Amino acid sequence: MFRPSHVSGLLLAPVLFLPALIVSASHGPTRSGSDSCNGTAAFNVNNLITRDVVAAIAAQNPGSQNADGTIDRTKITHALLTSSGHAALQVRAAAGAPLDRVQFQFSATSPAWTPDSTNHPAYATAIEALETPDRPADADLVLGGTFIFLIPTDVVSDGNYVARLVAFNAGAEVGRLCLDALVANGQGPTGAAQANSDPAYEPAETAGNEGFVPQPILWFPAAEPSATQQAGYGAKALRIEFAEALTPGSLAIQRDQSGVWVDYTSLAAQDDFQRPHFVAGGRADATPAEAVANEKVWGPGFRLPLDALPAESLPTERLRISATDLAGKAFCGVYTFQPGPNGSFLTSAPGSC
């Protein structure tokens, strides 16, 4: 179970979004291939490992996808996405281009979708993800080298929004990726207010709404940089977290054994992290954001002891993880591993099943 934390200066204002399926590009702003919103070689859409976002941008920009599956950022002219439900944006640094922090910034925009909306001057930083070794693992937003942005779209009314991911290294901005969004949870100010005050509230995402498939976050706590974050986990204990509720019984964890996928779901023990979810809105006590723990309900988490597998052979293992959310949207990804810090391991981005 996740609840987002590590909010920068401002309270986590109620303008967050979850990009998912595409909307007609003719309804959104366009930009040139050289627009700063398309990022740089050091940081662009290829740093995202959230599969739905990347696929949607590729679909909106025919001819932008390279033979190796990456996207040519100079060929992006549209990034208008619809958004609903809860999910996590996941960002990783590219080889040879390190990142030390990434910000999620947002703003409301004109209903007319003005041409410069992707460079809206009123962006506010809602979340900043950076490795903070003295924070416990359940309050950190960099897990296994992946920058995590937990996005509850239900904290805003339906409408038009813009957001961007801005990456930094050694104190300097290295690139930004802008996304235009239509939030579509079927709710107005009353529902948004409830989401901001009731930690258990979650909009009823339906198959007709555009929302993410339940792509999990994977990491080995033992590879984290501090003893506080490693505590209680062996080198081969894998954490699997979902940002939304799952259909009961839909989770499947399988291991590749000589080309045959063998099910080991029964080895996965429930292991939810309790992440603070800081909400906006007038608090009578004027409590600083980091001292307020309104517990937002996210999806379930699991611990998989890979050293319990017969003839375990990390890092050469392959796992296939699949799950279905309450709206019937299904995810399936194949993960491989590599040696990591502290005798532990790191996970790959999910490959196709």
310: which 2 tokens? Answer: 């017969």
Examine the domain organization and report whether 31 and 171 are in the same domain. yes
Q: SS3 string of 303-353? A: EEEHHHCCCCCCCCCEEEEEEEECCCCEEEEEEEEEECHHHCEEECCCECC
Shared domain for 182 and 282, answered yes or no, is no
35 shares its domain with 184: yes
Strand partners, 183: 83, 159
The distance between the two most distant Cα atoms of the chain, rounded to a whole number of Å, is 61
pLDDT at 111: 53
Same-domain check for residues 164 and 259? no
Give residue 274's pLDDT.
Answer: 54
**Cα 149 from Cα 89, distance rounded (Å):** 5
In a domain, 210, yes or no: no
The answer as to whether 3 is a domain residue is: no
Q: Specify whether 84 is located in the same domain as 179.
A: yes
Burial class for 67, CB neighbours closer than 10 Å (0-12, 13-18, 19+): exposed
Measured in whole angstroms, the distance separating CA 344 from the mean position of its chain's CA atoms is 23
Q: Is 180 in the same domain as 225?
A: no
Quick check: 130 and 267 in contact, CB under 8 A?
Answer: no
Give me the average pLDDT of each 10-residue run along the chain (353 residues): 37 33 44 84 95 89 93 90 81 95 80 45 73 72 88 79 91 91 83 73 58 88 89 93 90 96 96 55 34 57 95 96 91 96 92 93
What is the C-alpha separation between 14 and 271, in angstroms, rounded?
28
Residue 12 lies in a domain: no
Instruction: Give, in degrees to the nearest 5, the angle at Cα 60 between 322 and 180.
Output: 90
Whether 105 contacts 164, CB under 8 Å: yes
Do 263 and 325 belong to one domain?
A: yes
Q: Report the distance separating Cα 184 and Cα 212, nearest Å.
A: 12
Domain membership of residue 202 (yes or no) is no
167 plus 228 within the same structural domain: no
* Structural domain contains residue 209: no
Domain count, the chain: 2
Domain-terminating residue out of 197, 231, 260: 197
79 and 168 fall within a common domain = yes
Domain boundary among 197, 231, 259: 197
The structure tokens listed for 193 are 């207010």
DSSP state for residue 248 in the 8-state scheme: T
CB atoms within 10 A of CB 287: 12
If asked whether residues 53 and 191 sit together in one domain, one would say: yes
Strand partners, 166: 103, 176
User: Which residues make Cβ contacts (< 8 Å) with residue 312, sequence separation at least 6?
Assistant: 236, 306
Q: What is the CATH number of the domain that holds 107?
A: 2.60.40.10
- The residue assigned the tokens 């001819």 is 63
Q: Which of 137, 163, 197 is the last residue of a domain?
A: 197
Residue 236 and residue 170 in one domain? no
203 part of a folded domain: no
C-alpha distances (whole Å) from 250 to each of 61, 164, 206, 322 are: 33, 33, 17, 8
The boundaries of the domain holding residue 68 are 25-197
Q: Which amino acid is at 329?
A: K
- pLDDT value of residue 10: 29
For residue 5, tell me if it sits in a domain: no
The answer to whether the beta carbons of residues 322 and 51 sit under 8 Å apart is no
Could you tell me the two tokens for 335? 């993960």
Quick check: is 136 in a domain?
A: yes
229 shares a domain with 174: no
* Three-state DSSP state, 254: strand
The residue ranges of DSSP E strands in 153-194, in sequence order, are 159-169, 172-183
State pTM to two decimals.
Answer: 0.84
pLDDT at site 292: 39
